[in-house]
Amino acid sequence: MHLYLVRHTQVDVPRGMCYGRTEVGLAKTNLAEFGVVAKNLEGIKFKYVYSSPLLRCLKLANFLNEKLDLPKIIIDDRLQELNFGVWETKLWSDIEQMEYATGWFHDFVNIPCPNGESYLQLISRAKSFIHDFKMMDTNNNILIVTHGGVVRAINLLIKNIDPLKAFDLEVDYGQIIKLEIN
């Protein structure tokens, strides 16, 4: 089985802003970026299409559905980005100055954001999501439109990578990462 993980395209937020679960707008270049993603997926037949419920992913998934005649989009809450809690919409430069942030920056895997979640919690959601595929026919291609944090989590779970090395994988906006599950 092949998973095609697609990170949403560029967003329209101030540089350095923390956003995870916050609904944010897409950059003005979104339609051109959507077109590039669609072109890179042309000719691939997908059995299932999943998307995060956040609009920056859903808009891309709907565009791909229209352009590539994909199966019905399945919205899955487990594909949402990390919940940064009270840090959502704050600048990272301001967050770095907060007392609680020091512990999080030293152990983001285990320590949750205030009123948010830890990366281990996001990994747990991703693990639950990919576990559902174990019962499927292994000859399927599955398209997943999601966020950078989730792409990294699924990658480390499938490749058995230490969570501390999750951010060694760079995931650009609109990037497609193909993974195989045996």
Domains and CATH numbers, the chain: 2-180 (3.40.50.1240)
Helix (H) or strand (E) holding 123: helix 119-131
Helix (H) or strand (E) holding 95: helix 92-95
**pLDDT at residue number 133:** 78
| Gyration radius (Cα) of the chain, Å | 16
**pLDDT at residue number 52:** 98
Cβ distance 176 to 38 under 8 Å? no
**pTM (2 d.p.):** 0.95
Q: CB under 8 Å to 145, separation ≥6 — which residues?
A: 6, 8, 49, 50, 51, 52, 57, 58, 60, 61, 64, 79
Residue with tokens 């174990």: 134
**pLDDT at residue number 181:** 87
The alpha carbon of 100 is separated from its chain's Cα centroid by a whole number of angstroms, namely: 25
Smallest Cα–Cα separation from 52: which of 90, 19, 95, 89?
19
**pLDDT at residue number 137:** 66
Going from the first residue of the chain to its last (182 residues), give the mean pLDDT of each consecutive group of 10, the final group possibly shorter.
97 97 97 98 96 98 96 97 97 94 94 96 96 78 97 96 92 97 82
The alpha carbon of 28 is separated from its chain's Cα centroid by a whole number of angstroms, namely: 20
Q: What angle do CA 175, 178, 182 make, to 5 degrees?
A: 160
Smallest Cα–Cα separation from 119: which of 91, 147, 89?
147
Residue with tokens 């995870």: 20
Cβ distance 119 to 164 under 8 Å? no
